[in-house]
Amino acid sequence: MPSIPALVDPGMLTWARTTANLEPKAAARKIGLPEGRVEEWEQGSTRPTVAQLRKAATVYRRSLAVFYLPEPPAGFETLRDFRRVAASSVGVWSTALHAEYRRAHIQRDALLDIAELDEESLSAAWQSPGSLDNDVSLAAWGSATLHEHAVARRPPPSADAYAHLNFWTTAIEESGVLVMTTSGGEVEVDEMRAFSLYFDELPVVVLNGTDSPRGRLFSLVHEFVHLLLHTEGLCDTTTDTVLRSPDRQLEARCNAVAAEILMPAADVLASLVVAEHRPGSTWSIAELLEGAKPYGVSVEAFLRRLVTLGSATLAEYRLFRASRSDGVVTRGSSGGNFYYTKARDLGKGYVRRVADAHRRTLIDSVTAATYLDVKVEQIPRLAEVAQV
């Protein structure tokens, strides 16, 4: 049987390969082609067969249908980059990061499809009113809104970082935001701590699953503030001590509002650890750990908050960061129980919505399993885990 050529635009082949961060030689090897064949495809001197294109789609992590478009989808995989990375790395994404970006769009589309079937309007409670004229009022509004939409009325009193992360994640999900986590541990924290996608309906926040729970918590609220400001981007949430560009100024603003939401100034200044600290003396790790506990944040985030509030010096913060190699980037666990990890990566709010649509027969079992990336028989257990 003769091979059937795939009538695709060579530019789409180039776009798919470059956005998958693969050199032509590496792409040819992964697809199983002779060296130089990928270049021939992209120059238009030869065409892939349908079978070869299908293999290329798998390697590039694209759907087969996207190759038949006349040009790359408008706005696809364009995201404002706020990361503090070497100049040579700006704009370069790993294949894994590209895959997570696409997964965010796919999951959002799934929830929009369910909402359309259900003839339901998704919550827009996260949208801040335009009357908020300063960061303090923005933080106050954001905090009040999230507490209103949380399962519990107050954040957990314990020092359990995961309890705090779950509280704020649920609150942001219930306000109308899709919250996801990168899967498989393939996206390094050095590359990305979080990113957000702004839409008027159902915006998205994606956290790095290899980050610590305390790191994820601050990233989560930082990205939520991006949405309040009608912005989106790829972030490292590093706090600058010197602001040199509009992008870094915006990141600092998001950090400041996030810090006020998580660690209200009045609460921090009234805390016992601040009251008992001797003015002018260096903050000890024990004091910082104790002070950070009620908020579920990292020691570094708490110390930076103290600087903002005038209870610690910028020089002390700089010295702290310079002395701690793990002060910014820490690695959390990406293993564990399959169902808990899957629910975390997809987002528990997402799992609950898909499982509920399946239970009410809005979607069939095959569609639900596809949306959740599990077998049909695994849906009930996954749905149960997502309720926790």
Q: What is the pLDDT of residue 74?
A: 56
Task: Work out the average pLDDT over 295-302.
Answer: 93
Task: Work out the average pLDDT over 97-110.
Answer: 89
Question: What tens digit of pLDDT does each residue of 340-350 get?
Answer: 999 999 999 99
Q: What is the pLDDT of residue 67?
A: 85
Q: What is the pLDDT of residue 89?
A: 45
pLDDT at position 173 over 90: yes
* Cβ partners under 8 Å of residue 36, min gap 6: 24, 28
Quick check: helix, strand or coil at residue 46?
coil
Task: Work out the average pLDDT over 152-181.
Answer: 88
Task: Work out the average pLDDT over 79-96.
Answer: 65
C-alpha span between 236 and 171 (Å, rounded): 22
Q: What is the pLDDT of residue 59?
A: 86
Task: Work out the average pLDDT over 127-140.
Answer: 86
Question: What tens digit of pLDDT does each residue of 257-273 get?
Answer: 999 999 999 999 999 99
Q: What is the pLDDT of residue 153?
A: 56
- What mean pLDDT value characterizes the chain? 87
Task: Work out the average pLDDT over 122-149.
Answer: 88
Q: What is the pLDDT of residue 333?
A: 52
The highest-confidence range among 17-21, 41-45, 202-206, 235-239, by mean pLDDT, is 202-206
Q: What is the pTM of this model?
A: 0.79
Q: Position of tokens 């989808």? A: 73
Q: What is the pLDDT of residue 120?
A: 86
Quick check: helix, strand or coil at residue 5?
strand
Q: Which residue has the higher pLDDT, 229 or 154?
A: 229
Which tokens is 293 given? 């506990």
Q: What is the pLDDT of residue 13?
A: 92
Question: What tens digit of pLDDT does each residue of 321-366 get?
Answer: 887 654 444 555 545 689 999 999 999 999 999 999 999 999 999 9
Confidence of residue 18 (pLDDT cuts 50, 70, 90): confident
Q: What is the pLDDT of residue 154?
A: 67
What strands, in cross-sheet order, belong to the sheet with 233-235? 178-181, 204-207, 194-197, 233-235
- DSSP 8-state symbol, 64: G
Q: What is the pLDDT of residue 213?
A: 94
Q: What is the pLDDT of residue 28?
A: 93
Q: What angle do CA 142, 223, 132 make, to 5 degrees?
A: 35
Q: What is the pLDDT of residue 80?
A: 76
Task: Work out the average pLDDT over 143-172.
Answer: 84
Quick check: helix, strand or coil at residue 235?
strand
The count of residues in the chain is 388
Q: What is the pLDDT of residue 170?
A: 93
Q: Which residue has the higher pLDDT, 236 or 342?
A: 342
* Cβ partners under 8 Å of residue 43, min gap 6: 10
Q: What is the pLDDT of residue 262?
A: 95
Confidence of residue 102 (pLDDT cuts 50, 70, 90): confident
Q: What is the pLDDT of residue 17?
A: 87
Question: What tens digit of pLDDT does each residue of 33-86 get?
Answer: 999 999 999 999 999 998 999 999 888 878 787 788 887 765 555 677 777 654
Domains of the chain: 10-68 (1.10.260.40), 96-263 (no CATH), 335-385 (no CATH)
C-alpha span between 58 and 18 (Å, rounded): 14
Task: Work out the average pLDDT over 187-216.
Answer: 93
Q: Which residue has the higher pLDDT, 73 or 250?
A: 250
Amino acid type, 9: D
Q: What is the pLDDT of residue 289?
A: 94
Identify each DSSP E strand in 185-330 by its residue range: 194-197, 204-207, 233-235
